[in-house]
Amino acid sequence: MDAKQLEDWLKQTSQSSTPFILKKPLIMGIVNITTDSFSDGSSFLSVEKACEHAYSLIQHGADIIDIGGESTKPGAVRVPLDLELERVIPVIHELRKHSNTCISIDTYKPEVMKAATEAGANLINDVYALRQNNALATVAQLSVPVCLMHMQGCPQSMQDNPYYEKPVMEEIVQFFNERIQACVDAGIARNRLILDPGFGFGKQVSHNMGLLHHIEKLQQFALPILLGASRKSTLGILLNKKVNERLIGGIAIAVFAALKGVSMLRTHDVDETAQALKIIDAITQAA
């Protein structure tokens, strides 16, 4: 999927009256250029290795490559701006030389958003949902799509006994009502927004299961829904499995999410996810 196809997809998804449940989700493949990501830290620190991994994900079915230079796992250490730029910008430049596949920049820093977009990124993926200083204005100026994620707290402390007074999906819906309005008020086109309920971000296992069970409630916004549950600790707790043994659990969630109308799946396991979605799509098309 190139930038023009992504723009068309966003417009169709936000304007279509067809239930999202009938649409095959896009796949966002993860490339972490970090030392401390929970699943693949230090695996793709060089430009060469990061690009090789990205090309492999594209070959296996990734529609979008999500590049991040700072881990947002629970307890992650913040990365200085210059180091994050040093990690991600050369990779984006190199990928853009050889591929027109959409690139997403996973960052909350306005400076990285701007530099990454200038280097060739087509989408911003922000765990803070543009709540950092100058983030709203920057994205409005850049005029690119953005994914807004719900997170209680910050990565450094979000898993220190997260608590919700209301059912978790009620709070997520309220959060998105506020963030969508903030984006529109800042001059960001509504049909450029994607919503991520933030599986694993400031949520206990019961919260994650609750948001999955009720994820179709986000369809009230008539915007694409992104879900990222791949290899996360909730799967480890439920299955008693290590990070590299959580594939089946991740695929089960991907299938469930697709049948619930999720529009995009962020995953480490692109090939396996693509296979699962291909079967679901074949069944849906037959119906």
- Spatial distance between the Cα atoms of 33 and 39, rounded to a whole number of angstroms: 12
Contact at 8 Å (CB) between 138 and 187?
no
Contact at 8 Å (CB) between 277 and 24?
yes
Alpha-carbon torsion angle 44, 193, 97, 89, nearest 10: -50
- In one-letter notation, the amino acid at residue 156 is Q
SS3 256: helix
> In the chain, count of helices (H) and strands (E)?
10, 8
Residues 145-154 as b/e (b if ≥16 CB within 10 A, e otherwise) read bbbbbbbbee
Helices (H), the chain: 3-15, 47-59, 81-98, 110-119, 135-142, 168-185, 205-213, 233-239, 247-259, 270-286
- Spatial distance between the Cα atoms of 285 and 265, rounded to a whole number of angstroms: 20
Q: Which residues are catalytic?
A: 232, 266
Distance of CA 144 to the CA centre of its chain: 15
> Residue written as tokens 């910050």?
154
Tokens read off for 204? 């206990």
Alpha-carbon torsion angle 153, 155, 161, 163, nearest 10: 30
